[in-house]
Structure 1
Amino acid sequence: MPDERTIQAERVTTLESAIRGFAERKTASVITPNLGLSYDSLTEAYDFYNLYSWECGFGIRYGKSRINVKGARCMKEFVCSCSGKPNKENSSSCRTKCRAMVRLLQTDDGGWYIYENKTEHNHEQLDTCASKLHFPSHRHIYKYTRELVAHLRQNNVNLSKVYNIIGTYFGRIENVPFTKRCLRTLCGKISREQADDDVRKTIELFSEMKEKDSDFSYAVQVDDESRIRTLLWSNGRSKLQYHYFGDAVTFDTTYKTNMYDMPFGLFVGVNNHFQSTIFVGVLMRDEQSEIYEWVFHEFVKMMGGKVPVTILTDQARAMEIAIENVWPDTTHRWCKWHILRKAKESLGFHYTKKSDFRAELHRLVNHMLTIGEFEKGWVEIMKKYSLQSNTFLTQIFEVRRKWAKPYFSGKFCAKMTSTQRSESANHMLKNYVPPACPMNLFVKQYAKVLFDREQEEGFQEKRTKLAGVVLKVDIPIERHASTVYTRAMFELFAKKSLLLWILLHRRISSKD
């Protein structure tokens, strides 16, 4: 026998009858579960008794049920949430052996009616909405609200903002039918569901991407126990971008926002609009030289065999060894920012904003063009400020061939001197990826970052093809540049050409 009967369109439900008759009954509560009241289903009966419990100030839960000889449920109880006894006598349980309940029996046509109703409670009943909402029966989150929460959490919206956003859907936050504590429990459940069978979900996601993009590819390295050790992937558009703009790349692995605490690396370059373009994403369990060797080898294989001319990284020794072994002909340059980041704590008052030494050091590092000028200027500054014995300055000068500008004369770097583009891409990824997210969600959110970069590139393409350019000085070389450069690159060139024209004009005027 089914748990509900066929609902007739003209039938007035028990809830509707209770609301309509409230004015005549003049009872304390709008909803009263009297003996004999009938319902079309157990769900309707549960909702009716739950509304009654909200008015009175208690919560309910499912109680006993009974099956008849035909195997169908014929009796069901809804009891007070304080019914039953605690597992231990001296405990913080809210169960007080309360006997309040309703017992329903099934009718011959599949409906249900109240056979027994006990209304007396042996505990205090609550009288404020804030306290009532903490009963499990009064904090139900509906299906569509759950889906909204899941989407917001996937996009790294924190718990408080999620609750406030849901409050706008209900008119104001006071109308939200569940508490923030309940929302936190739901978010934990969503996170656990996303993490279940993570590897299978990730491989299935890669298969879906492969169906949509035939040039999508990925590579997996596993350990002796068949667990993922390294994962590397790229799509067709990123491969095409690398074909044109892959001569100079940066690689950084400082990002670790995933549930496995695996370092995430990005191969990033510069396109013709002087924007950062992402080529490949890499998840690694270890940062050892053999792991980096596998990553660099698979990267070139995935990109069609093209080896970068220049690569910028931090000063990790394992990465340096791997580059020497896999790409011996590639120029390896260290990030200048990583070299100088400890300058402030190592040099003290010498490296303050008002210090002449700081200004002279930056001028030396950023503007010296030849090796002779750089080394001569370094010796003069050290002597001028009596810093010949400073350990930090001595150490970075010994490795100057890895980071100082003059030693890379003639080497194409796409105007990059640090791994800032990789780090900024990592920073942007944090806006999409929630903390401690599983691998499958990480890959999904990474695809959104690529889409975001594609949108920015599309805007610059539109500017280049449709918008006009403004000539700063209207000289032949500037007019020629306006025909061959993209809009963004021309604007960079125009600033330089204007400065050059002003200096040249001043020199000519001084001679006259």
Structure 2
Amino acid sequence: MSDPGALNSEEGVLVNVAPLFAKKSETEPKVGMKFKSENEVFEFYKKYAYHVGFPVRKRTSQKNNEGVVTYVAFTCSREGRKSSNTSTKLKPQPTSQTGCKARLSACSDTAGVWSITGVHLEHNHQTSPSKSRVFRCYRQLDVHVKRQLEVNDIAGIHLHKSYNSVVVEAGGYEKMTFIEKDCRNYIDKVRKLRLGEGDAAAIQAYFSKMQSFSPGFFFSFDLDDEGRLKNVFWADNRCRQAYKEFGDVVTFDTTYLTNKYDMPFAPFVGVNHHGHSTLLGCGLLSNEDTETFVWLFRIWLECMEFEAPQGIITDQDRAIQNAIEVVFPKSKHRWCLWHILKKLPEKFGYHCQKASILSSVHKLVYESQSADEFEHGWFSMLDMYELKNNDWLIGLFRERSRWVPCFLKTSFWAGMSTTQRSEGMNAFFDGWSLVLLDLIWRGNFKVLLQL
């Protein structure tokens, strides 16, 4: 029986792939074995490693002058030693790396045939074939399981129950090729914008249609590696023109429609000369991390001809704050006062003097005329109610210049101190905007193209 995926070195012809893990001797790497591609080398080594019981990874590669990979090395995942970030040896960082020397190297010739050039099979740690299935490099979700998880998630079935159902169907945990964490990661990836292959093209066709009607219509897509739509931004010409007149201060919030559509809808909102809310662009997001907000803010800034607002009001979300520091470093960033005060009953519901604390904070916030007056009153309040060690209050005081009115009164805020204009956009959006969101959420892209 021949080695899996190998070329017969004497005859120079391809042979059939052998049954998986028939015998160790038949899957053991040897110098001189030949393969059709780098990927076949890696898959062969993975099969051997699975049989022996250790995880593998690609360690290094080299390219020729044309940029084509001609050399690779694969190692046991426990190769190397992770340096500790701690200053004491009494609490070393936990690591699975043991400096294992097991590895396989291969290179290709001018005809593109790959040959194993070096093999080291000994490990300095125990291997365990029974645990191979739980090593990350071998875990995978098949199409059937992915579809079942998605359907159950849409139906509102808890992921733990979905996973247990798959375990029963497979015949037990020992027959599973993945763990519950893999299922959770997959659902987190596809949960927000449930758009599969081809859906992004359908929405792009719709937005292109809108653009043909209105040349000032702007849109942008953010796709993942599999071509799935991660994030969307769009703004019509009215939004772009309104920003030129009323873009000094912008509020940004992601809570609008989140509960109804199970995805963050992120409108940029300003206030016009009549004191009315005006939309300045909006996005649909698949995630609420720093990377996503940086993408959204940069696209919005590009749409608005790279004119950053003087001020921007958001909630206390750390990811949003990080993104603002990256994209709008010169803009004044203010926290939504309403969001902060709304948390007071939750934070001090346990305290016997809850009502007095809430009253004191409101009085300090709204009646303090200077920074010194606020700070003096704040420390007096902490002493009176014995709250000096309250972490939440410590954090608020440290960032007082972002939310206390007396620290912000020297800047122009267009009469706004909260993001409630963003949250109150329900009456502002016309029927067509809601139709668009509903169709995107339900995946009715054929209907979109007919609008």
Query: TM-score under structure 1 normalisation?
Result: 0.44
Query: TM-score under structure 2 normalisation?
Result: 0.50
Larger Rg belongs to? 1
